[in-house]
Amino acid sequence: MKYKLTNETKKINNKILYRIKALKNFGNVKRGDLGGFVQSEKNLSQKGLCWIYNEAKVYDNARVCDNARVCDNARVYDEAWVCENARIYGDAEVYGEAEVFDNARVYDKAGVYDNARVWGKARVYGDAEVYGRAWAYGNAQVFGHARVYDDARVYDDARVYDEARVYGDAQVYDNTRAEGLGSTIESARDTARHGVKILTGYFPNS
């Protein structure tokens, strides 16, 4: 075993979470280091270099494994998985049945939830959200107040940011930039390629 549950607890939504303590050295964690909080040992693998730091919390049936890290005040819960070399930090939340893996990063106040997937070297940050059955992968970045949802895909070196909305079965890829107030890509026919900016419509309440 690489960690144990301590007697220090926090209560969230009537769930009791326990602070963890390292029992040996691994990665950048030293024996005796205190970590974040879990509801039970099923939330954090005893194998690999994965760890929960600071005041981060993982609970319900959520799972952190491999070499993943959850830091700061981040939360992972419901049935979500964070694995491989993924990093979740800041005030980010991953929940529902979402999965963040590979070398992906989710941070600041970003959210990944429902059945969304984020992987590769993708980044989701700021106040951005990826949800529904959406995917962000490759070197994609979703940030600002952007939303990617439904069955949308954002990949390659694409950037979706500001107040942009990508949804339906839309795909944003190559070096595309979807930016500004009300940038929307709703379906495959609206998909842009090769650096084209999408600046159509304004959905202030989306």
Query: Where is pLDDT greater, at 185 or 4?
Result: 4
* CB within 8 Å of 109: residues ≥ 6 apart: 90, 91, 92, 126, 127
The pLDDT of residue 194 is 33
Read off the pLDDT band of 180 (50, 70, 90).
low
Residue 50 · residue 64 · CB < 8 Å: yes
Q: In what order do the strands lie in the sheet with 105-106?
A: 51-52, 69-70, 87-88, 105-106, 123-124, 141-142, 159-160, 177-178, 197-198
Strands 197-198 and 171-172: unpaired
What's the whole-model pTM score? 0.91
The answer, yes or no, to whether residue 47 has pLDDT greater than 70, is yes
The pLDDT of residue 183 is 62
Domains and CATH numbers, the chain: 3-144 (2.160.10.10), 145-206 (no CATH)
Q: Quote the CA–CA distance of 184 and 198 in Å, as a whole number.
A: 7
Q: What is the mean pLDDT of residues 37-57?
A: 98
